[in-house]
């Protein structure tokens, strides 16, 4: 008659299971301490509170040295066919800025200028002339009278 020794087999299985469970707990504890030290080290660099995280997500306004603003230049010259704008902002006409013609001899253009002071003049059909509306003027060393546009 054969007897089954299921109790011995169960004991071996139980010992193997307990050994694996103890090994798992040891590994889990090791990983816990490793991750805890990593989180603590990282929290010194990047705070983990909700308020700090929200503050980090808020965009920081960019500080620009010179804000660019559009300025309109216009001239009323009823008989003119072509009006150009020359100034130190376009290398005195080397970069051509032609004013757009509208009804009744009205010409206009808008250009982007950073804060500063600019000298300019209009060229009406090839003849330079200062802006009749702008009274802020300066005489250049070559004798030409130019207008001053101040952008703040």
Region 121-142: mean pLDDT is 94
Query: In this predicted structure, which of 26-30, 121-125, 130-134 has the lowest mean pLDDT?
Result: 26-30
Whether the pLDDT of residue 100 is over 90: the answer is: yes
Distance in angstroms between the alpha carbons of the first and the last residue of the chain: 110
Q: Please, which pLDDT band fits residue 56 given cuts at 50, 70 and 90?
A: low
- Of the chain, the percentage scoring pLDDT greater than 70 comes to 82
Whether the pLDDT of residue 140 is over 70: the answer is: yes
Q: Calculate the average pLDDT of the chain.
A: 85
Task: Output the DSSP codes for 54-95.
Answer: HHHHSPPPPPPSS-EEEEEEEEE-TT-S-EEEEEGGGTTTTS
This prediction's pTM: 0.56
């Amino acid at each position: 008659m054969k007897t089954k020794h299921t109790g011995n087999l169960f004991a071996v299985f139980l010992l193997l299971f307990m050994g694996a469970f103890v090994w798992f707990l040891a590994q889990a504890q090791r990983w816990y301490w490793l991750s805890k030290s990593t989180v603590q080290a990282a929290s010194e660099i990047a705070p983990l509170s909700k308020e700090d995280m929200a503050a980090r997500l808020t965009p920081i306004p960019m500080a620009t040295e010179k804000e660019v603003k559009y300025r309109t230049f216009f001239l009323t010259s009823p008989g003119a066919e072509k009006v150009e704008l020359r100034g130190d902002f376009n290398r005195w006409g080397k970069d051509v800025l032609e004013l757009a013609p509208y009804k009744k001899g009205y010409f206009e253009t808008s250009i982007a200028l950073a804060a500063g002071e600019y000298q300019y003049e209009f060229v009406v059909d090839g003849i330079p002339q200062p802006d009749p509306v702008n009274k802020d003027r300066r005489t250049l060393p070559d004798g030409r009278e130019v207008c001053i546009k101040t952008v703040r």
